[in-house]
Copies of this chain bind each other. A is one copy, B any other.
């Protein structure tokens, strides 16, 4: 009955993902397999980490997340598995798992070294098939984490910079971390952090700017502005995004990943 959720940068034009499913079902025939996405830009660990963070909380207790965005495959980078109170995470130790883990209570973390749970032959280019898929399937079968290798401390793991905008009294600097299929430009500013900041402003308002665009307020749905007009809203991830009602904000407003959205207290310098 276990769910195994796959997240990779393998795309779907090759057989890599299909082969991982064959391996999983060879070991754990009852597993339900969900494709989170396989369209993470090749080798973009940050995009993978964001996707995993945005998705994991919606999966049933016991779900095994098998995440493979792995530019260091075949090098000495560690392969790891982490058990939290609700879920399991399997993947390379390169930061891919860190944002999801940071919001969970970690129960156990191990380095994957026990070859009994790998495929018999380990390639140096496709650990998704040879290590991560079989280990995920064995976890779904109920094998306890300590079987897979020695315990690691969480603070030994590779980490990405926190998923959080730069915030001070006068200004928030939020970075566009991903452009989604609809062209929405999603930043690293979290709703809870903005709410707190705005509260402290009291009566003073704020102005948000990105490129030539200026906003003085948030929308709460796309359709709140006329068709074709830009808006600013906290999206379903709980992150601030720039969108265009029935349009493509990234294309129309020329916003790119890495661009900065600045929110300044009204009347402050440069606002």
Which A residues are closer than 8 A to B by beta carbons? 1, 3, 5, 7, 10-19, 21-23, 25-26, 29, 32-39, 42-43, 51, 54-55, 58-60, 63, 71-75, 123-126, 129-130, 180-182, 220-224, 233, 235-236, 246, 248
B15, B25, B55, B75: the one contacting A60 at CB < 8 Å is: B25
A220 to B29, CA, bound (A): 32
Q: List 13 A-B contacts (CB under 8 A).
A: A5-B22, A13-B180, A14-B37, A15-B55, A22-B34, A23-B58, A26-B60, A72-B223, A73-B221, A73-B222, A73-B223, A125-B236, A130-B236
Number of copies: 3
Q: Which residues in B have their C-beta under 8 angstroms from that of A236?
A: 16, 123, 125-126, 129-130
Are A15 and B36 in contact, CB atoms less than 8 angstroms apart? yes
Nearest residue (CB) in B for A2 is B29
Q: Which residues in B have their C-beta under 8 angstroms from that of A5?
A: 18, 21-22
Known contacts: A15-B55, A220-B124, A236-B125. The answer to whether A246 contacts B71 by CB under 8 A is yes
Are A15 and B124 in contact, CB atoms less than 8 angstroms apart? no
Extra pairs beyond A18-B36, A42-B182, A71-B222 (6, CB < 8 Å) = A5-B21, A11-B181, A15-B36, A22-B58, A42-B248, A124-B220
A77 to chain B, nearest CB (A): 9
Are A55 and B1 in contact, CB atoms less than 8 angstroms apart? no
Nearest residue (CB) in B for A59 is B22
A158 to B17, CA, bound (A): 29
